[in-house]
A and B are shown apart, each in its own frame.
Chain A
């Protein structure tokens, strides 16, 4: 079974600052996918970024980037130039390659607050 750990229950930064959310995971799988999801107060789960474990290059989506360290089983999310709309719960998630059974395994989340 896989586990995903997010050690920061809550973080708060000023608007325009850069913030990094940490995530570690444990698995015996070699091929898998990692995700960061954002959940604003509306409760909608929004995919922020996805990383394939076989790719060495870190994924980037506009202001969002990851630092994927496969050997260390670490998958942190960096948000640059943070905006008020980034305030939300952020969940790190794992899925085995081939998906299907088990679905996504989520961490407990980090509540990110962007202060004006």
Chain B
């Protein structure tokens, strides 16, 4: 059973371009969380999705950021018109249910660098 797969591991974008980050949850997991980690910081919650639904996006910037988790395929975090401040590591975690007490399994993250 493969773990949570994120790709790419590293992504370089020029200012103004779009960044697409992908997350394939563990088999049987229908709940996905996205987190952002700035240098020297802990992870900050961005968005929580179930299949085809955004449950909570309170941690996601209102502009330029969007997320989806379609019925088929990976979850996608999209950042439009990237700026230098978007440079960070973005982590995805999945769980089989709302992870109130169960373990959320993390991917290895995507490090986005905006130049």
Chain B hits for A107, CB < 8 A: 42
- Would you call B48 and A100 a contact (CB within 8 A)? yes
With a cutoff of 8 Å between Cβ atoms, the chain B residues found around residue A42 in the complex are 108
A102→B101 contact, CB < 8 A: no
Can you list, as one digit per residue, whether each of B36-50 has a CB less than 8 Å from chain A (1) or not (0)? Answer: 000011111100100
Query: Whole-angstrom distance between the alpha carbons of A80 and B33 in the complex?
Result: 32
A99–B99 touching, CB < 8 Å: yes
Closest A residue, CB atoms, query B103? A47
| B76 on interface, CB distance cutoff 8 Å | no
Query: Which residues 4-41 of B have a CB within 8 angstroms of A?
Result: 33, 35, 40-41
Decide: B55 and A100 in contact? CB cutoff 8 A.
Answer: yes
- Total number of residue pairs linking A and B with CB closer than 8 Å: 80
- B79 at the A interface (CB under 8 A): no
A99: B residues at CB distance < 8 A: 95, 97-102
Over the window 17-55 of chain A, the binary record of Cβ atoms lying under 8 Å from chain B Cβ atoms (1 yes, 0 no) is 000000000000000010001000011111100101000
Contact in complex: A101, B106 (CB < 8 Å): no
A9: nearest chain-B partner, CB-CB: B40
Interface mask (A100-116 → B, CB under 8 Å = 1, otherwise 0): 11111111110000000
Asked if B82 CB lies within 8 Å of chain A CBs, one says no
Residue of B nearest to A101 (CB): B56
Output the nearest chain B residue to A105 by Cβ-Cβ distance: B45
B91 within 8 A of A: yes
The residues of B with any CB-CB pair to A shorter than 8 Å are: 33, 35, 40-45, 48, 55-56, 58-59, 89, 91, 93, 95, 97-104, 106, 108-109, 111
Task: List the 7 closest A-B pairs by CB distance, nearest first.
Answer: A106-B42, A99-B100, A45-B106, A103-B45, A101-B56, A99-B98, A100-B98
